[in-house]
């Protein structure tokens, strides 16, 4: 692992370790070590370094929201009044649990957000009573995801 500025370069062994854990965070370190052909302690050390370098942010269980009844995903372009303080709008968005992502973006919108709702009725409720209720939100454009084909992390 080589540090260049605030970036790092990782070697093939780091990549093998990361690939295994990005695929299944509970893969035992020892089994990774055996696959690669080095000792568990070595894998452990490398992981510590990758964490120190902040490359590894954490680990998560991934759940399927559909099983809990969340079946409608949508992207919403949000127009904010110029005068408004955007940070307060973002703070209010953060209070809405259905909001999964929020980005400041270039282009027409101020924000692009991704939300997850149970159904279209739920989506409409969030739009009309939660998003539109936020001060500074003047208009929104909604794009419902009919089907997601790709969902992955960057390849290492």
* Residue 56 CB, nearest approach to DNA (Å): 12
27, 20 contact by CB (below 8 A): yes
Which one among 60, 82, 83, 129 touches a copy of itself, defined by CB under 8 A?
60
Contact residues for 86 (Cβ-Cβ < 8 A; gap 6+)? 80, 104, 110, 111, 136
- By CB under 8 A, tell whether 124 contacts a copy of itself: no
Closest CA to 49 of 83, 16, 3: 3
- By CB under 8 A, tell whether 73 contacts a copy of itself: yes
CA distances in angstroms from 11 to 2, 3, 15, 36, 84, listed in the order given: 9, 12, 6, 13, 47
97, 114 contact by CB (below 8 A): no
Stretch that binds DNA, among 29-37, 55-63, 67-75, 104-112 (CB under 7 A): 29-37
**CA separation for the pair 18, 115 (Å, rounded):** 29
**CA separation for the pair 77, 72 (Å, rounded):** 16
Which one among 31, 59, 128, 145 touches DNA, defined by CB under 7 A?
31
Any bridge partners for residue 79, and if so which? 139
The contact pattern for a copy of itself, residues 9-48, with x = CB under 8 A and - = no contact, is: -x-------x--xxxxxx----------------------
- By CB under 8 A, tell whether 75 contacts a copy of itself: yes
Which one among 29, 84, 96, 127 touches DNA, defined by CB under 7 A?
29
**What is the contact surface with DNA in residues (CB under 7 A)?**
1, 13, 28-31, 38-42, 44-46, 48-49
**What is the contact surface with a copy of itself in residues (CB under 8 A)?**
6-8, 10, 18, 21-26, 53-70, 73, 75, 90, 93-94, 97, 99-107, 109, 112-113, 116, 141-156
């Amino acid at each position: 692992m080589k540090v260049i500025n605030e970036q790092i370069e990782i070697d093939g062994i780091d990549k093998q370790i990361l690939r295994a854990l990005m695929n299944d965070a509970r893969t035992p370190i020892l089994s990774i070590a055996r696959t690669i052909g080095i000792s568990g302690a070595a894998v452990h050390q490398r992981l510590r370094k990758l964490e120190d370098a902040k490359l590894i942010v954490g680990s998560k269980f991934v759940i399927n929201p559909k099983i809990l009844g969340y079946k409608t995903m949508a992207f919403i372009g949000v127009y904010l009044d110029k005068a408004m303080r955007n940070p307060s709008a973002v703070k209010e968005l953060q209070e809405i649990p259905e909001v999964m992502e929020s980005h400041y973006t270039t282009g027409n919108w101020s924000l692009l957000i991704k939300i997850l709702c149970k159904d279209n009725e739920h989506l409409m409720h969030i739009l009309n009573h939660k998003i539109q209720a936020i001060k500074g939100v003047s208009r929104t454009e909604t794009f419902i995801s009919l089907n997601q084909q790709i969902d992955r992390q960057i390849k290492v």
